[in-house]
Amino acid sequence: MRDTGIGISREDLPRVMEKGFTGYNGRQDRKSTGIGLYLCKKIMKKLGHLIKIESEVGKGTTVILNFGREFEIAE
């Protein structure tokens, strides 16, 4: 999944999948529980799969879910 939003700072990136972490450099006008990426990581780990996040401030964020197999993309 990819977006072209504000991105995640280098300081925040290592912590974005911690329970309750909402970031220090994000939008101040939006509320967050800090539970979404945490739950995603827990589920992926429980199923034996991987999740990776790449981000650059001002350019956006990419979340990669690796299920360990190739899938065809429907057009």
Q: What pLDDT sits at residue 54? A: 96
Q: What pLDDT, on the 0 to 100 scale, is given for residue 41?
A: 96
pLDDT tens-digit readout, 55-64: 999 999 999 9
Nearest to 9 by CA among 53, 52, 56: 56
For residue 52, the model assigns a pLDDT of 95
CA 9 to chain centre: 12
Q: How far apart are CA 42 and CA 26, in angstroms?
A: 23
Closest by CA to 13, choosing from 43, 65, 55, is 55
Summarize pLDDT for 7-57 with one digit per residue, the tens. Answer: 999 999 999 999 999 887 666 667 788 899 999 999 999 999 999 999 999
Query: Alpha-carbon distance 58 to 28, whole Å?
Result: 16
How far the first Cα of the chain sits from its last, in Å, is 16
Q: Residue 72: pLDDT above 70?
A: no
Domains in the chain and their CATH numbers?
2-66 (3.30.565.10)
